Amino acid sequence: MVQVDETTQGVLNQISEGFEQKGAYNLRQNGIPLCHGDSEHIKIRKKEDKPGIDILIDGETKGEKVFIPVVVSVSGMTDLVYNDFYVADGADVTIVAGCGIHNGGCNDSRHDGIHTFHVGKNANVRYEEKHYGEGNGTGQRILNPVTNIEIGENSVFTLDTVQIKGVDSTIRTTNVVMDANSKLFVLERLMTDGDQKAESDIEVCMNGSGSSAQIISRSVGKGNSSQVFHPKAVGKNKCHAHIQCDSIIMDHAQVGSIPEIQAKHVDAAIIHEAAIGRINDEQLLKLRTLGMTEAEAENVIIENFLS
Amino acid sequence: MVQVDETTQGVLNQISEGFEQKGAYNLRQNGIPLCHGDSEHIKIRKKEDKPGIDILIDGETKGEKVFIPVVVSVSGMTDLVYNDFYVADGADVTIVAGCGIHNGGCNDSRHDGIHTFHVGKNANVRYEEKHYGEGNGTGQRILNPVTNIEIGENSVFTLDTVQIKGVDSTIRTTNVVMDANSKLFVLERLMTDGDQKAESDIEVCMNGSGSSAQIISRSVGKGNSSQVFHPKAVGKNKCHAHIQCDSIIMDHAQVGSIPEIQAKHVDAAIIHEAAIGRINDEQLLKLRTLGMTEAEAENVIIENFLS
């Protein structure tokens, strides 16, 4: 087993709960694949032409988890990585892809993970992504993930993404193309504080007949932070989609939501709901009568909202 | 009383119900002010520097209607007009501004009405706008209205706009700036058929504390027509807004909805809802069991949806 330093282990505890160096996994540290393992059904191959790995998940995979955490702990580093997931027909897999930056210096640290999913038929993929920043350096902690997903016939893809805290700047780009009778579930949770900036662009093309998408985005903006959400659902066939964006705005934060729904087929049914507002006063009052301070009550409400 | 020709009268019947040549009114025909009248409290003045009129509504105006219909019946004409409304503090007025194009020729006919409302304090303004096209010429019937509205303190502005039928191309631009405790109600109804194209951009800036906006947009897309809605609500102060866009899609029509909500103040509460879908099957079935044909049943549902 490869020994990891204390800083890296601390970040791993935040982004990759349950991670161990066994089964199928790949730990990337400061732009270098530190260690990896295969399992019977999941093989990880280093790319020859560019940084990154191919993750080959065979059709016999049933309920297995693969961990691919990334840690950047050197100030001033830009880490660009391409990870491709090949999910065979019938596979059932959970991919845990946390990314954390520890920046103790004065230069910006940045990680851009370009993840592409090629999902076959009748598969079930759960993709969990935790983003986290820490360290008391003045350099920025920047995460710009790009996630491309092709969902094959009758497959289900769940994208569960959380930005816990400490990320100064993020631009999240997610593109999904859906085949017949495929299902997409997206749960996005995001909190910003201080002068942090976050942008999330999600485009879902429902090309296949019978495809359906549900996107739920929940965010909290504190301090002077700003957030922009731009989810887009395009229905080109018989399909249905439901997009819901809820944001809590606090302090001097600014939150914008620009959803886009495009129906290009008579049997495309697309619904969008968005709400931006301050913390619920009644909930706040109720918790304060239970003896909490205002700050404690706010934290409980926020945690509940984002959970 | 000025005699109007049969074509113009036919268009007037569609766009300006209840219009007579008395009280305060202005009838514009083919780019020329054909006739106008003043009332005790409402004066209409021809602009000296550009085409159009100033409508001066004094603070004693109580429940009065002013009609300013526009008819274009010459094929190949582009009519550009600037109408400015000065609504004094405390006025209560309804403005009926229909616009119809009869195009019997092969050249495009177009009317661009640039309407600007300067609304004082404690006023109540209802602005009704009907757009309509007819005529069996091959030339397009194009309407590109621009509506700029400044709503003063404690004033209420209601914008009721309908595009009945026959408009080949429209780009509607509406800009609203709201002062403290002002209220805005927008009801937009739009139907397109054939190869018609419609775009509606509404931007509402809630600058004043206590301002509130409600925007309801309902549309039906038939044939090969296409529609795009882009309502935008920006909250820069304590305010609340509710935007609701519902569209029925039929045949090979395409409908897009891109609402934008921007909260730039902790006490800005903004909600958006949008839905695009086909006609309700249950309603259709119910009406058909009452003996209606499918087409009759569809018409009843559409009329009800847009009313």
Contact between residue A117 and residue A150 where contact means Cβ atoms under 8 Å apart = yes
Whether B278 sits inside 8 A of A269 (CB atoms) is yes
Percent of chain B with pLDDT over 70: 100
Interface contact B249-A263, CB threshold 8 A: yes
Sign of the dihedral defined by the CA atoms of residues A31, A32, A36, A38, in that order: positive
* Contact check, Cβ <8 Å, B274/A264: no
CB contact under 8 A, B266 and A253: yes
- B101 Cβ contact list (under 8 Å, min separation 6): B11, B71, B72, B73, B109, B110, B111, B132, B133, B134, B135, B141, B142, B143, B166, B167
Interchain proximity B278–A261, CB inside 8 Å: no
Which residues of chain A lie closer than 8 angstroms to B249, CB-CB?
263, 265-266, 268
pLDDT tops 90 at residue A232: yes
Q: Token digits for A219?
A: 């965010």
* Mean pLDDT in residue range A212-226: 96
- CB of A114 within 8 A of CB of A142? no
Chain A 209-268, residues with CB within 8 Å of chain B CB atoms: 235, 247, 249-268
Distances (CA, A) of B176 to A175, B181, B209: 34, 14, 15
User: What is the mean pLDDT of the segment spanning B131-152?
Assistant: 95
| Number of compact structural domains in chain A | 1
**Contact assignment for B268 to A253 by CB distance below 8 Å:** no
B220-to-A47, A121, A153 alpha-carbon distances in Å:
51, 36, 32
Domain of residue B176, residue span:
6-279
Q: How confident is the model at residue A134 (pLDDT cuts 50, 70, 90)?
A: very high
Query: Can you tell me the distance from the alpha carbon of A174 to that of A177, in angstroms, rounded to the nearest whole number?
Result: 10
Measure in Å the smallest separation between the Cα of A201 and chain B Cα atoms: 13
Answer yes or no: is B152 within a domain.
Answer: yes
Reported confidence tier of residue B164, pLDDT bands at 50, 70, 90: confident
Inform me whether the pLDDT recorded for A53 exceeds 90. yes
Point out the residue among B254, B260, B264 whose CB comes nearest to the CB of A263.
B254
A92 φ/ψ angles, rounded to the nearest 5 degrees: -130, 110
Q: Is the ipTM of this complex over 0.90?
A: no
CA pair distance B205, B177, nearest whole angstrom? 5
Residue A148 has pLDDT above 90, yes or no: yes
Question: Angle A281-289/A294-306 helices, nearest 10 degrees?
Answer: 120
- What pLDDT shows up at residue A281? 85
Residues β-bridged to residue A270 = A241, B276
Q: Which residue has the tokens 């934008």?
A: B260
A270–B278 C-beta distance less than 8 A: no
* Angstrom distance (rounded) from CA B153 to CA B83: 23
Cβ distance B266 to A251 less than 8 Å, yes or no, reads yes
Q: Which two tokens stand for residue B305?
A: 């949806």
With respect to residue B243, please indicate whether it lies within any of the assigned structural domains. Answer: yes
Q: Tell me: pLDDT of A147 over 90.
A: yes
Chain A residues within an 8 Å CB radius of B230: none
The answer for residues whose C-beta is within 8 angstroms of residue B93's C-beta and 6 or more apart is B42, B57, B61, B63, B64, B65, B66, B87, B123, B124, B125, B126
**Is A256 in contact with B262 (Cβ distance < 8 A)?**
yes
Question: Using the beta-carbon criterion (under 8 Å), do A259 and B272 form an inter-chain contact?
Answer: yes
pLDDT at A127: 98
Q: At what angle do helices B294-306 and B281-289 cross, to 10 degrees?
A: 120
Q: Which residue is closest to B262 within chain A, CA to CA?
A: A256
Q: Using CA atoms, how far apart are residues B120 and B133, in angstroms rounded to an integer?
A: 34
- A271, closest residue in chain B (CA to CA): B275
- Whole-angstrom Cα distance, residue B38 to residue B45? 9
Q: How confident is the model over B107-120, as a mean pLDDT?
A: 96
Residue B281 has pLDDT above 90, yes or no: no
Best probe of the B interface among A215, A228, A255, by most B CBs < 10 A, is A255
pLDDT over 90 at B147, yes or no: yes
Per residue in A17-29, pLDDT (tens digit) is 889 999 999 999 9
Q: Which of B251, B258, B266 sits opposite A266 (nearest CB)?
A: B251
Q: Which residues contact B90 (CB under 8 A, 6 or more apart)?
A: B59, B60, B120, B121, B122, B123
Q: What radius of gyration do chain A's Cα atoms show? A: 20
Measured CA to CA, the distance from residue A253 to residue A192 in angstroms comes to 9
Average pLDDT, chain B: 95
CA of B257: which chain A residue's CA is closest?
A261
The shortest C-alpha distance from B266 to chain A (Å) reads 5
Q: Do B258 and A263 touch (CB under 8 A)?
A: no
Q: Which among B171, B68, B179 has a CA at the least distance from the CA of B127? A: B68
Q: In the structure, what pLDDT confidence band is assigned to residue A307 with cuts at 50, 70 and 90?
A: confident
Per-residue tokens: A53? 């790995």
Q: What is the pLDDT of residues B204-256, one digit of tens each?
A: 999 999 999 999 999 999 999 999 999 999 999 999 999 999 999 999 999 99
Residue type, B111: H
Mean pLDDT of chain A: 95
Contact of A133 with chain B, judged by CB distance below 8 Å, is answered with no
Q: φ, ψ for residue B295 (rounded to 5)?
A: -65, -40
Residue A294 within any structural domain of the chain:
no
Q: Are B104 and B138 in contact (CB under 8 A)?
A: no
Q: Is the per-residue pLDDT at B168 higher than 90?
A: yes
Q: Mutate which of A270, A273, A282 to test chain B, going by most B C-beta atoms within 10 A?
A: A270
Listing DSSP states for chain B in one string gives -----HHHHHHHHHH-TT--SSSSEEEEETTEEEEEE--SSEEEEE-SSSSEEEEEE-TT-EEEEEE--EEE-STT-EEEEEEEEEE-TT-EEEEE--EEEE--SSS-EEEEEEEEEEE-TT-EEEEEEEEEEE-S-SS-EEE--EEEEEE-TT-EEEEEEEEEE--SEEEEEEEEEE-TT-EEEEEEEEEE-TT-EEEEEEEEEE-STTEEEEEEEEEEE-TT-EEEEEEEEEE-SSEEEEEEEEEEE-TT-EEEE--EEEE-STTEEEEEEEEEE---HHHHHHHHHTT--HHHHHHHHHHHHH-
Interface A-B, measured as beta-carbon pairs within 8 A, has a size of 110
Cα separation, B58 vs B194, in Å, equals 44
CA atoms in the 13 A half-sphere facing the CB of A69: 25
User: How far is it, in rounded angstroms, from Cα A46 to Cα A153?
Assistant: 28
Asked if the model's pLDDT at residue B280 lies above 90, the reply is: no
State both tokens at B136.
Answer: 């069996």
Looking up tokens 């964006």, which residue turns up? A245
Domain assignment present for residue A171? The answer is: yes
Mean pLDDT calculated for residue range A162-174? 94
Of all residues in chain A, the one with the smallest CA distance to B250 is A266
- What pLDDT shows up at residue A164? 79
Residue A296 domain-assigned (yes or no) = no
Note whether residue B293 is domain-resident. no
Give the model's pLDDT for residue B145: 96
**Tens digit of each residue's pLDDT (9 = 90 or more) over B7-52:** 999 999 999 988 999 999 999 999 999 999 999 999 999 999 999 9
Q: Are B300 and B287 in contact (CB under 8 A)?
A: yes
Tell me: the pLDDT tens digits for A85-130?
999 999 999 999 999 999 999 999 999 999 999 999 999 999 999 9
Q: Do residue B257 and residue A261 have CB atoms under 8 angstroms apart?
A: yes
Q: What pLDDT sits at residue B118?
A: 98
Maximum distance among all Cα pairs of chain B, rounded to whole angstroms: 61
Inspect the interface and report whether the beta carbons of A278 and B266 lie closer than 8 Å: yes
pLDDT at A267 over 90: yes
Contact assessment for residue A180 and residue A153, using Cβ atoms and an 8 Å cutoff: yes
For residue B19, being part of any structural domain is answered with: yes
Copy the structure tokens of residue B259: 């609402």
Q: Which of B251, B252, B270 sits opposite A276 (nearest CB)?
A: B270
Instruction: Flag whether B303 is in a domain.
Output: no
Q: Give the residue from B201, B234, B240, B278 with the most A CB atoms within 10 Å of its CB, the best one to mutate.
A: B278
